[in-house]
Amino acid sequence: MRDQKAAFAAAASTVVGQPAEDVASLIEYPPQRDLGDLALPCFRFAKTLRMSPQDIAARIAQALEGRPEFASAAVVGGYVNVKVAREHAATMAVRQIRADFEAFISRQRLRGHRAAIDYSSPNIAKPFGVGHLRSTMIGQSIVRLLQMDGCETVGINHLGDWGTQFGKNIAAYLKWGDEETVRRDPVRELLKLYVRFHEEAKVDPTLDEEGRAWFKKLEDGDPQAVALWQWFIDESRKVFDQTYEMLGVKFDYYLGESFYNDKMQPVVDELRERGLLTVSEGAEVVDLSAWNMPPCIIVKSDGATIYATRDLAAALYRHDVLGADRLIYVVGAEQSLHFAQVFKVLELMDRPWAKDCRHVAFGMMKYNGERLSTRRGKVVYLEDVLQQAISEARKIIEAKNPSLPDKEAVAKAVGVGAVVFNDLKNYRMHDVDFRFEDVLNFDGETGPYVQYTHARACSVLRKAADQGCALPEEVHFTEVGDLEWAVIHQLNQANEVLERAVDELDPSLIARFTLDLCHTFNRFYHDVPVLGADTEAVRMQRLALVDACRIAIARTLYLLGLEAPERM
């Protein structure tokens, strides 16, 4: 309710003598609808103005008289409770949404900024498990949220393509692998070899030494090691890209850990020159005890660099080369300390943009209550989950709407949407227990429910067109009932929800808004005649409202990474 809040705050600011923007931040939604649509508590102004809150509220109410945005203003205790002029608000909201939804929802607060978002980041030669869904889709949604708020974005897939594990992968493949078998199903076969390696190493510890030796060869550029490593990357990328295509996810850059191999020494050199490195148990570290953190290891006792060194190099590259002034890392909550250390070291390196580095933590993905583990072979392949969801959607379509055009595309949109929405509707810091019966339940607060509501709105508009009822570009509301107003009131909160979602980097706020809008729209659809309205003018108003809802649902689905089928 951006416009109404702005008008309310502008009038109130003339009374209280504070900037309208500050006053706007204090405006609330009353707990009961019959109290009004907006409320301003006046208690904090009393001391400065040397007036009672009730007297201040009365003066503000008087200042609101005659404003076209408001139907009434009442003093209740120390509050000014305002009822919005429904017809005016409905006309303005529907007009703006139908003309330009982005302008309606966004103030473009981040125009001129460029953010690098690090998300998904699966490990090469490991499966793209259902656990990777969280980083992938939270990250994709954050990219779109930032873009909607005016920010230029750089999406980065920081592939796990370096480390001792690749020595183990190479050793396992050379001992037990078969090229033809691996080529048929690369990632799954390489996982089997990796799991076998760890099981055999429990009995024969020399295997771990062999794995380390092969990684040393890889570091030294051994042709056989490098060729196998590159093959693992190429085959893994093919499999990952199939999953990304199903999810509709794209990146601007695939920059794996190995990309920064030649960029770490300058980081170490700078830290030494600045006197930030100290020796601890043979390792070189940055002492962070003054900030109640353990030391940040930069060079291990054996001379090797570590994750923090690599992430420091990556941060400098993303800022200095890619031109990002904001760095965002969509990585599980278990890495919170690591990123706190990295950001603090960047600050100690006198990088002022360190304050604009954000770790977007999220809770763990479990499967039927159990923690997933690649090393133990406890993996649920995301592609299998998506295919099963698509198959389930296909069955429902065949049972309920067998003549639906383009059934396969709709089944994919609905099946994938079910999996993605099931994740994103949860507050990102909560753990998610993945259960097929929940994900594939297409009733209730689900992606298919939201998609079906969009298709329902499209159906109403198609029926209107079939009856020769063309929607005019401009509609002026002359009457707005309670159910229509409930929809308008919900739509008018879109901007606030977007800004909160961007500020908190949490797509679940958009998912909740979309669900609430769909619930409100469906009550309106069931109880208010649209095509059967009493007059042509009212029918036009209601059809325009349906059209505005269609646009809003489609665009919020897009922000979450879901498609919006027009028929289901």
pLDDT at 375 over 60: no
376 neighbors 195 (Cβ within 8 angstroms): yes
> Looking at the domain 114-274+306-367, which fold is it?
Rossmann fold (3.40.50)
SS3 of 173-184: the string is: HHHHCCHHHHHH
Question: How many C-beta atoms lie closer than 10 Å to residue 29's C-beta?
Answer: 14
pLDDT at 373: 58
* Dihedral (CA of 100, 106, 112, 117) sign: negative
Which pLDDT band holds residue 35 (cuts at 50, 70, 90)? confident
Which pLDDT band holds residue 284 (cuts at 50, 70, 90)? very high
Question: How many C-beta atoms lie closer than 10 Å to residue 112's C-beta?
Answer: 10
Across 53-83, b (16+ Cβ under 10 Å) vs e yields bbebbbbbbebbeebebbbebebeebbbbbb
String of DSSP letters for 70-131:
EEEEEEETTEEEEEE-HHHHHHHHHHHHHH-HHHHH---TTTT-EEEEE---PBTTS--BGG
92 neighbors 82 (Cβ within 8 angstroms): no
Residue 75, strand partner residues: 80
If you average pLDDT over each of 33-42, 195-204, 317-326, 432-441, which comes out highest?
A: 317-326
Calculate the CA dihedral of residues 118, 122, 125, 127 and round it to 10 degrees: -170
CA 484 – CA 486 distance, rounded (Å): 5
Encode pLDDT of 518-566 as tens digits. Answer: 999 999 999 999 999 999 999 999 999 999 999 999 999 999 999 999 9
Encode pLDDT of 398-438 as tens digits. Answer: 999 999 999 999 999 999 999 999 999 999 988 888 777 77
Which pLDDT band holds residue 301 (cuts at 50, 70, 90)? confident
Question: What is residue 345's three-state secondary structure?
Answer: helix
CA 393 – CA 173 distance, rounded (Å): 39
The tokens describing 230, both together, are 């590159």
Bridge-based pairing of strands 296-299 and 283-286 is antiparallel
Amino acid (1-letter code) at residue 217: K
User: Residue 275, exposed/middle/buried by CB under 10 A (0-12, 13-18, 19+)?
Assistant: exposed
Domain-by-domain residue ranges, the chain?
2-84, 114-274+306-367, 275-304
pLDDT at 377 over 80: no
The tokens describing 464, both together, are 């209107």
pLDDT at 368 over 80: no
27 neighbors 5 (Cβ within 8 angstroms): yes
pLDDT at 440: 66
132-137-141 Cα angle (round to 5)? 155
Do the first three CATH levels of 2-84 and 114-274+306-367 match, i.e. the same topology?
no
Closest residue by Cα to residue 60 from 34, 32, 31, 27: 27
CA 86 – CA 488 distance, rounded (Å): 9
8 neighbors 82 (Cβ within 8 angstroms): yes
pLDDT at 432: 82
* Dihedral (CA of 49, 51, 54, 57) sign: negative
Q: Sheet containing 70-76: which strands, arranged edge to edge? A: 38-41, 79-84, 70-76
pLDDT at 472: 83
Residue 70, strand partner residues: 84
Q: Which CATH architecture has domain 2-84?
A: 2-Layer Sandwich (3.30)
Residue 40, strand partner residues: 80
Phi, psi of 329 (to 5 degrees): -120, 110
In a 13 Å sphere around the CA of 468, the CA atoms on its Cβ side amount to 0
pLDDT at 434: 75
């020796």: which residue's tokens? 279
Encode pLDDT of 119-176 as tens digits. Answer: 999 999 888 888 899 999 999 999 999 999 999 999 999 999 998 899 999 999 999 9
Amino acid (1-letter code) at residue 319: H
String of DSSP letters for 60-73:
HHHHTTT-TTEEEE
């063309």: which residue's tokens? 470
pLDDT at 364: 84
CA 296 – CA 338 distance, rounded (Å): 8
Encode pLDDT of 495-509 as tens digits. Answer: 999 999 999 999 999
pLDDT averaged over every residue in the chain: 93
pLDDT at 127: 83
pLDDT at 376 over 60: no
Question: What is residue 215's three-state secondary structure?
Answer: helix
pLDDT at 519: 95
CA 60 – CA 9 distance, rounded (Å): 10
Encode pLDDT of 57-105 as tens digits. Answer: 999 999 999 888 999 999 998 999 999 999 999 999 999 999 999 999 9
Encode pLDDT of 215-236 as tens digits. Answer: 999 989 999 999 999 999 999 9
